[in-house]
Amino acid sequence: MEVERDSVKLSLSNELTKTAQSLSMESHKQNKPFITNLNKKPSMEVAIFAFPGSWEVSDWYHDDRFGETEVDRNLFKSMCRIGENRPAKVNAAFLKRFQDLLNESTFKSEVEKAVNTNKKILFTGHSYGGAIASFATLWLLDEYVKNRGKKFPIGCVTFGSPLIGDRTLSHAVRREKWAGHFTHFVMEHDVVPRIMLSPKISIQQHVPSILKFFQQQVNAIDDKPHKSRKLIFSKSGPGKRTAEDRSIGDDEGVEFFENVIINASAVASHVAFELMEPTNSLMEKLSVDFVKVSPYRPSGFYVFCTSHSQQFRVENPNAVLQLLFYFLQLTDESQNLVDFSSKSFNESFSYEEQVKNVLQLENLIDLKDLNDHLLTPNGTAGDAVRTSNEALFQLSASARCCLIAAEEAENRKKENEKMIDKSMKKYATPEEKKKKRNRTELKFIEEILDELREYKKNHTDYYEAFKLQKEHDVDFLVNVDRLKLAKIFDEIVEMVMRDDLPDEFEGREEWVKVGTEFRRLFEPLDIGNYYRHSKGDDNNKVYLDVRPKRYKFTQRWYEHANGMGFELVSETNFVALLEEIKKEVEETKKKPIDMVKEEFKSLEKQVHNWISDHKIRNDDDDDDDVFWGECFFSVLRGKLG
């Protein structure tokens, strides 16, 4: 399990998990926004915060569809796609509950107290409470680890939690290497982790009754040991009930369950279609794309608890999604749907028994270790492997194919990453380096950057030198290098946008560094080329209007890594504004001269701020890659008086 270098994953033990599960159920009975073990045992090494459930429909769905909204970027700055600056979408109702928790309770102060007394932090919750625990963990990682730079063990363990966010959230969690902080326990048939795959409109007739039943189950919990409670389906259907009646009608329970399965199938099929890189007809692709499916996707690590008293861990979110669907399928045509759906509801309250009697974290098997066996014919995978993972091998062939496809998709992304890594010299093999030395037209990114540094060193104003193109041979070669690197980085950007690279790629220190070096050295040349050929005159657009994505993406990589906000005008493109001021002074003269002078002074002040900012300067390098435009400023200063 890889964890972000600046964060520390809390190692779960069997006892700690049992304590968390017990506290998560106890929180249901307390009329409090959260409870903590520190109230009873302040000397505990691990501070556990447990969040209660909610049985009100408005706390689950914000609208009649899926109820998603953009994540609060003030609380969760890292939950986005960096290059595209696209925020994650999360369940609006869950988010609202967490925002209220921060604003209206003592939660923040209790967490601060625990951190200041060097406690390890564990958030936990059952069902709805698990969703709030996940938000709390993301907030803690972003606020304390990412923003404040603190290091202490952080963990989140949930039991039957619904999904909280979309693919972007899952991507961001993996990019930050935070997935290992989350452990989600899911019973094989528990319907709650699948609920968010259905739009509210498809199940809204039954949701109030289902939540009411869950509330009654919680109210029946006492402190004495008890057998697992069984759900009784009433033969009378969804009629009038008393407070003591904890039954759900046959038709009501089955219809709810069927709707969840149908919607889960749509989502799983949609994702599987993309994973397998199909060659199907355009019509089939359109039929998939025009069906509005749930945006919610798994994030973090999952532990599936099967009816065979077996448990296995899944780290691949796409594999988790497939299992959430396929484990809900009837494995035998003779199975009674009423009984199966009853079992699904019942399993929502089976985690206590599972954790107490079955849990052995040290013996968990990773799904990825079984992939080589999943498609082998019966009897050839090894009796021990099949016996110890019976639930997996009872899945249909199509289910197992989807699990393999999920893993193969990750492998393809890693191969793509290796391919582009080789464009950097330090990742190439000796044979590849020798081959490139023998073919001068193929150069490593780092070699081209060094050549441009030499060009910059040999010219007092390399921006003006390249723009004027007086040294034809030298300037021609520099321009060729500019085009080569533009092609490489354009391809990388497209791969990031197509999701063809591992989620961790945009956060990799090596690519943040080389992307920043590329941007600082080559964007001024792109600007010089733009204004040399007067490209903006035809469409009346300035450079910043058409700035290439390769520079926006690499700028955002750098700013994210350094905890900075995005600047439209940055240390690598401000020269474009100087060009516009120069054009205004020499040609168009549409603005009052005082306004132009004010724009010039404001830009000059901003550049001075950048020069004094150590985050901007390359302290690790002998040479400063940033072009500060001293000569350009001097010329304009003279023209403006």
CA distance linking residue 596 with residue 580, whole number of Å: 10
The pLDDT assigned to 220 comes to 81
Provide, rounded to the nearest whole percent, the portion of the chain with pLDDT above 70: 86
Residues 408, 436, single domain; the answer is no
Task: Give the number of C-alpha atoms closer than 13 A to the C-alpha of residue 508, restricted to the C-beta side.
Answer: 14
Token pair of 556, please? 């955002």
pLDDT band, residue 387 (cuts 50/70/90):
low
Q: Per-residue pLDDT for 612 more than 90?
A: no
CATH code where residue 143 lies: 3.40.50
pLDDT digits (tens, 9 = 90+) for 440-467: 456 899 999 999 999 999 998 999 999 9
Residues 413, 426, single domain; the answer is no
**252 and 236 Cβ atoms separated by less than 8 Å:** no
Evaluate whether residue 204 is within a structural domain. yes
The mean per-residue pLDDT over the stretch 530-547 comes to 89
More confident residue, 52 or 238: 52
pLDDT band, residue 240 (cuts 50/70/90):
very low
Residues 440, 385, single domain; the answer is no
pLDDT band, residue 428 (cuts 50/70/90):
low
In 230-283, DSSP assigns E strands to 233-234, 248-249
For the chain, the C-alpha Rg in angstroms (whole number) is 29
pLDDT band, residue 310 (cuts 50/70/90):
confident
Q: Per-residue pLDDT for 553 more than 70?
A: yes
Evaluate whether residue 303 is within a structural domain. yes
The pLDDT assigned to 506 comes to 96
Evaluate whether residue 44 is within a structural domain. yes
pLDDT digits (tens, 9 = 90+) for 350-360: 999 999 988 88
Residues 625, 527, single domain; the answer is yes
**216 and 337 Cβ atoms separated by less than 8 Å:** no
607 φ, ψ to 5°?
-65, -40
Q: Per-residue pLDDT for 431 more than 90?
A: no
Mapping DSSP to helix (H, G, I), strand (E, B) and coil, where does residue 488 land?
helix
Residues 379, 460, single domain; the answer is no
pLDDT digits (tens, 9 = 90+) for 118-169: 999 999 999 999 999 999 999 999 999 999 999 999 999 999 999 999 999 9
Residues 130, 42, single domain; the answer is yes
Residues 410, 437, single domain; the answer is no
Residues 459, 428, single domain; the answer is yes
Task: Give the closest residue to 163 by CA, choosing from 230, 39, 68.
Answer: 68
Residue that terminates a domain, selected from 417, 449, 473: 417
Tally of CB atoms within 10 A around 111: 23
More confident residue, 617 or 567: 567
More confident residue, 319 or 588: 319
The pLDDT assigned to 285 comes to 54
Amino acid at 413: K
CA distance linking residue 335 with residue 308, whole number of Å: 17
pLDDT digits (tens, 9 = 90+) for 71-128: 999 999 999 999 999 999 999 999 999 999 999 889 999 999 999 999 999 999 999 9
The domain tally of the chain equals 2
Residues 6 or more apart whose Cβ sits within 8 Å of residue 393: 374, 381, 386
**132 and 51 Cβ atoms separated by less than 8 Å:** yes
| Residue numbers of the domain that contains 520 | 422-640
The pLDDT assigned to 378 comes to 55
The mean per-residue pLDDT over the stretch 574-598 comes to 90
CA distance linking residue 224 with residue 221, whole number of Å: 8
Work out the burial of residue 165: count CB atoms within 10 Å of its CB; fewer than 13 is exposed, 13-18 middle, 19 or more buried. buried
**401 and 269 Cβ atoms separated by less than 8 Å:** no
CA distances from 168 to 6, 223, 250, 494, 566 (A): 22, 41, 38, 17, 19
The pLDDT assigned to 1 comes to 40
Residue that terminates a domain, selected from 389, 417, 445: 417
The mean per-residue pLDDT over the stretch 168-175 comes to 98
Buried b (16+ CB within 10 A) or exposed e, 269-281: bbbbbebbeeeee
pLDDT band, residue 436 (cuts 50/70/90):
low
The mean per-residue pLDDT over the stretch 403-420 comes to 95
The pLDDT assigned to 276 comes to 79
Lowest-pLDDT range of 407-416, 508-517, 632-641:
632-641
The pLDDT assigned to 308 comes to 77
Residue that terminates a domain, selected from 364, 396, 417: 417
The pLDDT assigned to 383 comes to 58
**406 and 316 Cβ atoms separated by less than 8 Å:** yes
The mean per-residue pLDDT over the stretch 266-275 comes to 91
The pLDDT assigned to 238 comes to 42
Q: Per-residue pLDDT for 332 more than 90?
A: no
Relative to beta strand 46-51, strand 120-126 is parallel
∠94-99-101 over CA atoms, to 5°? 95
CA distances from 523 to 188, 517, 551 (A): 53, 10, 7
Highest mean pLDDT among 380-389, 573-582, 584-593: 573-582
Residues 452, 355, single domain; the answer is no
Q: Per-residue pLDDT for 35 more than 80?
A: yes
Residues 428, 329, single domain; the answer is no
pTM: 0.90
The pLDDT assigned to 79 comes to 98
Residues 498, 375, single domain; the answer is no
The pLDDT assigned to 354 comes to 92
CA distance linking residue 300 with residue 315, whole number of Å: 7
CA distance linking residue 49 with residue 186, whole number of Å: 20
Evaluate whether residue 248 is within a structural domain. no
Q: Per-residue pLDDT for 641 more than 50?
A: yes
pLDDT band, residue 616 (cuts 50/70/90):
low
Evaluate whether residue 409 is within a structural domain. yes
